[in-house]
């Protein structure tokens, strides 16, 4: 199955190197091999985690006639940035694709800057706007809530196998990726920290409270949150403060790239699904269009809260409230829609008889809201 960003990555490879970041097992290897054996026939795939490939990388041993060279997990090489810069500057007759299960845009260790030599893409799991061709959105929605959007559990449609896959994936992230890239000694305590966040997914997270529960320092808790964000385990969104009087200032909400990571909680998984879909769209807008984007929530000291506020290029485009059954318009959403004047204000309700619009607020289902992705219809020739 061709992924949503594949044709745009192909176009970028004609001009510069392309780096692809994203969670472990989200499909980066499959996407790169599709390019390697499809559009770029006779391309070469080299994985840093394999001994034979690692030797070939270090000795620069690959066919000079291959149109595309793929370096998977190259960021685990401490001098990867300086190394790939040298390759690109001296061998520009080939195209280079670098993939990794950590944020390649932050792992820039030593050497000169790679600025201007690459485009960066972030690959996300399946969402409502990216499903297999013959799958209905109703079926896709059900699987996303129960199995998450990562290709293997999503496509297998087996909850037992999904649980096994999720446990094995998480163990590999902690025992391999974190070990290779971060100086954290107590991996078991980090796992407990992630579990504490899983229980709080979609809620306001006070790191000091988690730190107290786990008997670690607040500084350590903040550092560990940064680590799991770099590893694409979870992401944080912070309160919108611009033009919001008496807004709370600091506490984040934390969501997980794998919807199945959320501790069994229907409302929490629904909100997490909306968060991951919005982030995927915003990352596409950044990676393709080059605009700056941000995903926030709103909460003031009076307790008025809206689940999501979307900002694109400095403009508040969307306020979004998420509910399972209640189709009465949220008074908090109405208050902030009138005060902040977003381009759109939307309440997403799963169990809704029919969509409607009232007071410039649209009430609709997640399926209807997310059916038209931002990458459809774009010229990528």
Predicted local confidence at residue 246, as pLDDT: 79
Judged on CB neighbours under 10 Å (0-12, 13-18, 19+), 250 is: exposed
Rounded to whole angstroms, the Cα distance separating 351 from 162 reads: 26
Q: What is the mean pLDDT of residues 186-192?
A: 89
Structure tokens at 39: 């559009």
Taking only the tens place, the pLDDT of each residue in 4-14 is 999 999 999 98
Say yes or no to pLDDT of 168 above 80.
yes
Taking only the tens place, the pLDDT of each residue in 73-108 is 998 898 898 899 999 998 778 899 999 887 776 544
Global confidence as pTM: 0.93
Give the helix/strand (H/E) hosting 316.
Answer: strand 315-323
* Residue 136 phi, psi (nearest 5): -75, 155
Structure tokens at 13: 């490879």
Rounded to whole angstroms, the Cα distance separating 15 from 108 reads: 21
Q: What is the mean pLDDT of residues 121-127?
A: 96
Judged on CB neighbours under 10 Å (0-12, 13-18, 19+), 241 is: middle
Strand extents, DSSP E, 17-147:
17-21, 44-47, 68-72, 95-100, 118-122
Predicted local confidence at residue 110, as pLDDT: 44
Predicted local confidence at residue 165, as pLDDT: 96
Predicted local confidence at residue 101, as pLDDT: 83
Predicted local confidence at residue 111, as pLDDT: 46
Please report, to the nearest 10 degrees, the dihedral formed by the alpha carbons of residues 308, 312, 316, 317 taken in order: -80
User: How sure is the predictor about 177, in pLDDT bands with cuts at 50, 70 and 90?
Assistant: confident
User: How sure is the predictor about 285, in pLDDT bands with cuts at 50, 70 and 90?
Assistant: very high
User: How sure is the predictor about 2, in pLDDT bands with cuts at 50, 70 and 90?
Assistant: confident
Taken in order of first residue, the domains within the chain and their CATH numbers are 6-122 (3.40.50.300), 137-369 (no CATH)
Structure tokens at 225: 């949150």
Say yes or no to pLDDT of 109 above 90.
no
Say yes or no to pLDDT of 381 above 90.
no
Taking only the tens place, the pLDDT of each residue in 248-283 is 778 999 999 999 999 877 789 999 999 999 999 999
Q: What is the mean pLDDT of residues 184-205?
A: 91
Structure tokens at 323: 């509910």
Task: Provide the percentage of residues in the chain whose pLDDT is more than 70.
Answer: 97
Predicted local confidence at residue 108, as pLDDT: 43
Collect all residues with Cβ–Cβ distance below 8 Å to 14 and sequence separation of at least 6: 95
Mean of pLDDT over the chain: 91
Q: What is the mean pLDDT of residues 213-220?
A: 94
8 Å CB contact between 177 and 102? yes
């Amino acid at each position: 199955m061709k992924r949503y960003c594949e044709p745009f990555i192909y176009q970028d490879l004609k001009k510069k190197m392309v780096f692809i970041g994203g969670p472990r097992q989200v499909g980066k290897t499959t996407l790169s091999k599709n390019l390697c054996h499809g559009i770029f026939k006779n391309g070469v795939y080299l994985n840093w985690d394999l001994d034979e490939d690692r030797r070939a990388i270090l000795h620069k041993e690959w066919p000079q006639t291959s149109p595309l060279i793929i370096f998977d997990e190259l960021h685990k090489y401490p001098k990867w940035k300086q190394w790939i810069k040298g390759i690109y500057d001296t061998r520009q007759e080939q195209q280079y694709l670098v993939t990794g299960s950590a944020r390649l845009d932050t792992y820039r260790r030593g050497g000169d800057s790679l600025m201007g030599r690459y485009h960066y893409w972030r690959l996300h799991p399946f969402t409502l706007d990216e499903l297999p061709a013959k799958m209905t959105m109703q079926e896709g929605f059900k699987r996303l809530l129960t199995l998450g959007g990562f290709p293997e559990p999503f496509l297998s449609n087996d909850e037992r196998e999904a649980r096994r896959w999720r446990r094995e994936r998480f163990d590999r992230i902690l025992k391999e990726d974190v070990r290779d890239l971060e100086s954290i000694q107590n991996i078991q305590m980090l796992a407990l920290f992630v579990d504490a966040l899983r229980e709080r997914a979609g809620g306001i997270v006070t790191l000091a409270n988690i730190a107290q529960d786990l008997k670690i320092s607040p500084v350590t808790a903040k550092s560990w949150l940064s680590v799991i964000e770099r590893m694409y385990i979870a992401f944080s969104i912070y309160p919108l403060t611009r033009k919001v009087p008496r807004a709370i200032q600091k506490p984040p909400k934390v969501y997980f790239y794998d919807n199945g990571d959320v501790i069994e909680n229907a409302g929490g998984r629904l909100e997490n699904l909306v968060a991951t879909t919005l982030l995927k769209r915003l990352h596409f807008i950044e990676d393709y269009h080059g605009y700056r984007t941000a995903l926030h929530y709103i909460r003031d000291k009076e307790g008025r809260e809206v689940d999501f506020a979307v900002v694109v290029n400095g403009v508040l485009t969307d306020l979004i409230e998420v509910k399972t059954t209640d189709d009465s318009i949220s008074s908090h959403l109405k208050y902030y829609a009138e005060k902040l004047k977003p381009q759109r204000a939307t309440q997403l309700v799963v169990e809704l008889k029919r969509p409607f619009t009232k007071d410039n607020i649209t009430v609709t289902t997640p399926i209807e809201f997310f059916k038209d992705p931002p990458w459809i219809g774009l010229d990528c020739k």
